[in-house]
Structure formats: C-alpha cells, structure tokens
C-alpha cells in the first residue's frame, strides 16, 4: 500500500482520540483509582517490615501485632475492591473501543469507491475487521492496563524502597534496569515488524478461504480440489513461518528481562545482607525490601507480554489506519441539496472515461440525448464500454472528462443518494442475499405491501416460480442466491429494481439467462412500465433492444452506429450483421427442433 503522508495519518489517530475524549472520565477515574490502589498495596510490605522488626527486637505487644495484622487485612481488602473498580472501568473501555473501531471501519468501508474494492481482496478486508481490531483491543485493554499497573506498582515500590528503607540499596538493586530497557526496545521493534508480516499472512489465508468458498462450484466442476488444498497449504505454511519468526523474537524478551532482574536480586542479597549485618538497615527493612523486589518482579516478568501486546497493537493500528485514510468515494464533489427528485431526462456530452490505474480509455467522446420517458438500447461487443456508461450514470466513478446531465443538472451536483434512489438498476452480476425472496425484493425495507411485491414479481415473470416454492416469498435462498437458477436470480433482481418505482430503469444484460419466450413476456411487461419512465436496456441480443426509441452500437468505447431499429437495418453495418447472425441462428435452431 502507498505510503501515507503525515497529514493523512491524522484520521486514524483522530478516531482513537475522539474515543478517548468521549470516555475521558472513565479513564481518569480508572487511573486515579489504580494509583490509589498501588499506594495501598505498597503499605503491605511496610507493615510486614514493622511486624518483623517488632518480633525481632521483641518489643511489640501482642495487641499491637493484632492491630498491624488487621491493618494489613484492611489494606488487602481495599486493594481488592479498588482493583476490581479500576479494571472494570479500564478493561470495559477496551471492549467498547473494539466495537467502536469495528463500527467505524464498517461505516468507512461503505463509503469507499467501487475502485477500492477492485484493488482490495475481500479476505484481506475481513482480516482487518477481525484480527487487526482485536490486536488494537488487546493493546487498549490488557496491554494498557498491565503497563499502567506495572509502571505504577514499580514506581510506587521504588519510592517506598528509596524513601523508607535505603536509597543506595535501591539504586544498586535497580542498576540492571536500563540495560533491560534497551534490550526491550530493540526486541519490541522487531516484534512489531514481524507481527505485521503475521497479520499479512493471515490476511492471505483469509482471502484464500473466502475465494475458495465463493468459487467452490467452479473448483469442483474443474476437479481442482487437490490443487486448491496444495495451494492453501503454501499459505498456511507461510503463516507458520512468519509466526515462528515472531515467536523467536518474543521468546528472547521474557528470559532477557528475567536475567536482568536476577542480577538485581543478586546485588540486593549481597549488598542488602551486608547493610543488615553492619546495622545500617533492620531485618524488617530487609524483609520489606525483599517484598518490594518481588512486587516489582511481577510486572518485570510480564514485560515481554506487555511489550508484545503493544507492538502487535501498534502494527495492527497502522494497518487499520491505512484503510481509514483512504478517502471516501466522490469526496471532492459538491452536491446541490435542493434536488430531491429526478424525472429522468438524460444528456451525455463529450464523455470520455479511463478507469483509475488503467492505461486506455473505456469510453471515448460519447454524446447521447435521452428524453424523459424514452428508452435507449445499447449494443456492442463485450468490453466495448456498455457497463462503464452505466457505472458513470450511477456515479460509481466520478465524471471528469465531459458531462452527464440528468434533468438538465450536472450529475456531479446531484446528491448521490437522490440519484441512486431514482434509478432502478439490474446489474449484470445479480447478487442475492442469503435471506427470503421477499427481503431480496424489498432490500430489507419492509415498506411495501404484499400486493406491490406480487405485482413486480408478475411483471418480471418470476411470480409463478415463487409460488411453486414451498414457502413462497418467504423461501430463504442460498448464499448469493445459489438455490435459484440464473434466470430466476435475474428476474428477482428485476423485481427488486421495479419495486423502487424508479424514474430511470436500467437493465444491464439482465435477460441473458432467460429463454426467449420468457424474455418476450418480460419485455412486453417492461414496455408498459417504461411508458412513463426513462429506460436503458443493454443487451447482446437484438430482440431485447429492437423496440427502443434509440439504439446505440458501441465499439472500443465509441458510438459507431445510432438510430432506430429500422434506421440501423438500413445502414447495413454492425447492427445489421448482428441481426442477420442472430436470426439465422434462431432459424437453424427452429429447424433442428422441428
């Protein structure tokens, strides 16, 4: 992915800063309670030291000892309660941050351009939404809390050690700490880099699984299962290799911290015992110091885990940030807000278009005038630019070279939602959701009556098929509509476009999977629907577009022929040849059938 400019990185940071600002009181309260709880915890070794000295010198009354023991018990209970509260506040926030980031990522993904999805794999994006967000959550939760707890306990212990026992002994005991810090920072960086690679390897696996499952029918049809398994093993192995490298780095961290701390203990035992013997510190102080050292040891032992969590979190945060910094589609365009309805007049003037990152134009100098209520038929070889024209009409891509006017308004100035709301579009690749046919037709908006749903189903000639199903409109279709035939899927998609009652109806090769009799029925019904609307019908079949008010023939992104069916037949060029080929084919087929 492209390196981000400094300005762009602000977006991801802003998101986290906004979260922290919104939850600042729980953070402040959590941190203050944590500090107080650490202070209370540090009283315990001191009380232990006082009791030890009392017993050692035999100058402490039994009642006094009981009082100290009660004090210690009180401190333990208080620490327990305080710890519960601060963990609830701070760990609770990390669960919320996970949900907050995931919601924002999902929201952001909805705003990204179609082109973004042409260049990013689904499995990869799933990895961002699951793995990376989880790693950030661990950083915000366990990582943050353990680091804060560890730092507080260590700092408070050191203050107690230096102030109440002996500063020189404290310095001696902590001498190896800077060495440990340098080692931790170095290994930490290595962990971050390696974790990034682990996440990338996971994204590859996720992508492979997603692609394989989506294409399982093709894989089976071509008997490619074995190759797929072998291919998958390579991805799996790559993940193991990257993970092993990460484990190697993190495995050094824990023992390094322990060795450094071992030296600290050694210094303390040698130097501390000497101080007890020459009477500089009491035995109680020695015991208390020892307890403080053990208290500090907890976070030190944990430091490898904490650093690893942080470095993983930072690596994932950076990956997420790259996605958050991708600007939303059509970000720079200005919309006029008072347009709230579209009647359907379309004018295309000198329009050319090149896809981002492509090196040749998909459309060249297109000019079309389509009055409201009229129908345009588009024909052309595959790859000639038919769908591209529709992509621009739907503003899936920005119009930069030339103009498209809808109702006389530049399309770039019409609010995208208003524009798309007024267009009923049946795409070439019909996508049905794994839910009921009814939900698929109304697109999860339960605002239509059963009569309306039935009516559009009848227009698109799918009603009888639906009625034959056991659950009728409540039949749940398989993922991507797999339990329906290609032609049935196309017709459900037509019903979905019609129920919007659109001003402009676009059918992009939407009848290619239906037989010619059904096509005739649908076209007849749609002709009635199109009487009051603007229609654009794309097809490879002359029979689908021949009744249109105007037909254009595209070749390499350019309009090479235009006119009515009769005019194009008179031209005796591409359209005519196609007509001849298709009628000959139909006649031959009829003879064969006879």
Ligand X SMILES: Nc1ncnc2c1ncn2[C@@H]1O[C@H](COP(=O)(O)OP(=O)(O)OP(=O)(O)O)[C@@H](O)[C@H]1O
Q: Which residues fall within 8 angstroms of residue 25, CB to CB, at 6 or more apart?
A: none
Q: What are phi and psi of 175, to 5 degrees?
A: -55, -40
Stretch binding ligand X (CB under 6 A), from 22-30, 103-111, 354-362, 438-446: 354-362
Stretch binding ligand X (CB under 6 A), from 26-34, 69-77, 386-394, 496-504: 386-394
Residue with Cβ nearer ligand X (96 or 512): 512
CA distances 80 to 45, 76, 84, 85, Å, are 16, 6, 6, 9
State the Cα–Cα distance between residues 76 and 88, nearest whole angstrom.
18
In whole angstroms, how close is the CB of 483 to ligand X at the nearest point?
25
- Does position 387 interact with ligand X (CB under 6 A)? The reply is yes
In whole angstroms, how close is the CB of 499 to ligand X at the nearest point?
25
**Cα distance between the two ends of the chain:** 60
- Does position 491 interact with ligand X (CB under 6 A)? The reply is no
Helix or strand or coil: residue 65? helix
Token reading at 44:
């315990």
Residue with Cβ nearer ligand X (152 or 388): 388
Q: Which member of 385, 481, 487, 502 binds ligand X (CB under 6 A)? A: 385
Residue with Cβ nearer ligand X (386 or 438): 386
Stretch binding ligand X (CB under 6 A), from 24-32, 238-246, 380-388, 474-482: 380-388
In whole angstroms, how close is the CB of 188 to ligand X at the nearest point?
41
Token reading at 162:
């230096």
Which is it for the CA torsion 187, 193, 196, 197, positive or negative?
Answer: negative
- Does position 74 interact with ligand X (CB under 6 A)? The reply is no
Q: Fill in the DSSP letter of residue 501.
A: -
- Does position 382 interact with ligand X (CB under 6 A)? The reply is yes
Residue with Cβ nearer ligand X (364 or 491): 364
State the Cα–Cα distance between residues 100 and 116, nearest whole angstrom.
23
Name the one residue in this structure whose structure tokens are 């009799």: 517
With contacts defined by CB under 6 A, how many residues of the chain interact with ligand X? Answer: 13
CA neighbor of 210 nearest in space, from 288, 142, 109, 130? 130
- Does position 589 interact with ligand X (CB under 6 A)? The reply is no
In whole angstroms, how close is the CB of 20 to ligand X at the nearest point?
39
- Does position 383 interact with ligand X (CB under 6 A)? The reply is yes
Q: Which residues fall within 8 angstroms of residue 457, CB to CB, at 6 or more apart?
A: 441, 463, 466, 473, 495
Give the 3-state secondary structure of 125-154: HHHHHHHHHHHHHHHHHHHHHHHHHHHHHH
Cβ atoms within 10 Å, residue 376: 23
- Does position 26 interact with ligand X (CB under 6 A)? The reply is no
Residue with Cβ nearer ligand X (540 or 565): 540
State the Cα–Cα distance between residues 160 and 398, nearest whole angstrom.
66
State the Cα–Cα distance between residues 438 and 427, nearest whole angstrom.
19
Stretch binding ligand X (CB under 6 A), from 102-110, 179-187, 313-321, 375-383: 375-383
Side by side, the strands of the sheet bearing 363-370 are 363-370, 346-353, 401-406, 409-410
In whole angstroms, how close is the CB of 356 to ligand X at the nearest point?
7
- Does position 377 interact with ligand X (CB under 6 A)? The reply is no
Helix locations, 325-371, DSSP H: none
- Does position 329 interact with ligand X (CB under 6 A)? The reply is no
Q: Fill in the DSSP letter of residue 328.
A: P
Write out the binding residues for ligand X, residues 112-171 only, by CB under 6 A: 118
In whole angstroms, how close is the CB of 118 to ligand X at the nearest point?
4
- Does position 366 interact with ligand X (CB under 6 A)? The reply is no
In whole angstroms, how close is the CB of 244 to ligand X at the nearest point?
38
Q: Fill in the DSSP letter of residue 3.
A: P
- Does position 539 interact with ligand X (CB under 6 A)? The reply is no
- Does position 386 interact with ligand X (CB under 6 A)? The reply is yes
In whole angstroms, how close is the CB of 424 to ligand X at the nearest point?
18
Write out the binding residues for ligand X, residues 425-484 only, by CB under 6 A: 428
- Does position 544 interact with ligand X (CB under 6 A)? The reply is no
Stretch binding ligand X (CB under 6 A), from 178-186, 201-209, 327-335, 376-384: 376-384
User: Which residues are near ligand X by CB under 6 A?
Assistant: 118, 355, 358, 362, 380, 382-388, 428
């Amino acid at each position: 992915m492209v390196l981000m400019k400094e300005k762009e990185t602000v977006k991801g940071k802003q998101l986290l800063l906004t979260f922290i600002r919104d939850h600042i009181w729980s953070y402040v309260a959590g941190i203050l309670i944590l500090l107080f709880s650490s202070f209370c915890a540090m009283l315990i070794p001191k009380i232990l030291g006082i009791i030890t000295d009392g017993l050692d010198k035999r100058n402490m009354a039994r009642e006094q000892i009981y009082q100290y023991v009660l004090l210690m018990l009180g401190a333990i209970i208080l620490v327990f309660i305080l710890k519960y509260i601060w963990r609830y506040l701070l760990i609770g926030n990390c669960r919320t941050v996970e949900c907050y980031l995931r919601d924002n990522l999902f929201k952001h993904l909805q705003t990204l351009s179609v082109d973004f999805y042409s260049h990013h794999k689904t499995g990869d994006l799933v990895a961002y939404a699951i793995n990376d967000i989880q790693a950030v959550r661990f950083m915000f939760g366990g990582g943050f809390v353990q680091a804060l707890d560890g730092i507080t306990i260590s700092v408070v212990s050191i203050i107690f050690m230096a102030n109440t026992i002996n500063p020189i002994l404290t310095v001696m005991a902590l001498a190896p700490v800077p060495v440990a810090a340098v080692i931790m920072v170095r290994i930490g960086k290595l962990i971050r880099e390696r974790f990034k690679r682990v996440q990338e390897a996971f994204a590859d696996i996720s992508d492979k699984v997603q692609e394989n499952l989506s294409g399982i029918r093709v894989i089976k049809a071509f008997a490619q299962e074995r190759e797929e398994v072998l291919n998958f093993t390579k991805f799996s192995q790559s993940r193991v290799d990257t993970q092993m490298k990460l484990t190697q780095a993190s495995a050094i961290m824990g023992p390094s911290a322990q060795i450094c701390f071992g030296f600290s203990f050694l210094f303390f035992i040698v130097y501390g015992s000497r101080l007890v013997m020459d009477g500089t510190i009491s035995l109680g102080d020695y015991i208390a110091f020892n307890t403080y050292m053990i208290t500090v040891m907890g976070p030190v032992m944990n430091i490898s885990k904490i650093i690893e969590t942080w470095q993983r979190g930072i690596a994932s945060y950076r990956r997420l940030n790259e996605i958050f910094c991708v600007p939303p589609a059509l970000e720079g365009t200005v919309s006029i807000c008072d347009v709230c309805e579209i009647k359907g007049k379309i004018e295309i003037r000198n329009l050319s278009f090149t896809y981002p990152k492509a090196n040749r134009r998909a459309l060249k100098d297109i000019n079309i005038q389509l009055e409201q209520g009229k129908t345009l038929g588009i024909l052309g070889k595959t790859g000639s630019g038919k769908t591209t024209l529709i992509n621009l009409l739907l503003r899936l891509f920005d119009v930069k070279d030339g103009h498209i006017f809808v109702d006389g308004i530049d399309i770039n100035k019409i609010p995208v939602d208003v524009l798309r709301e007024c267009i009923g579009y049946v795409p070439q690749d019909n996508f049905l959701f794994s839910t009921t046919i009814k939900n698929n037709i109304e697109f999860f908006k339960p605002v239509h009556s059963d009569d309306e749903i039935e009516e559009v189903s009848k227009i698109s000639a799918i009603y009888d098929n639906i009625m034959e199903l056991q659950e009728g409109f409540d039949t749940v279709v398989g993922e991507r509509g797999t339990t329906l035939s290609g032609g049935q899927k196309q017709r459900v998609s037509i019903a979905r476009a019609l129920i919007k009652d659109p001003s402009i109806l676009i059918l992009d090769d939407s009848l290619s999977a239906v037989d010619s009799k059904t096509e005739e029925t649908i076209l007849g019904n749609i002709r009635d629907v199109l009487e009051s609307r603007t229609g654009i019908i794309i097809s490879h079949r002359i029979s689908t577009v021949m009744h249109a008010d105007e037909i254009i023939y595209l070749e390499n992104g350019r309009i090479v022929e235009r006119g009515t069916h009769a005019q194009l037949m008179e031209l005796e060029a591409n359209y005519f040849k196609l007509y001849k080929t298709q009628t000959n084919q139909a006649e031959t087929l009829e003879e064969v059938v006879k």
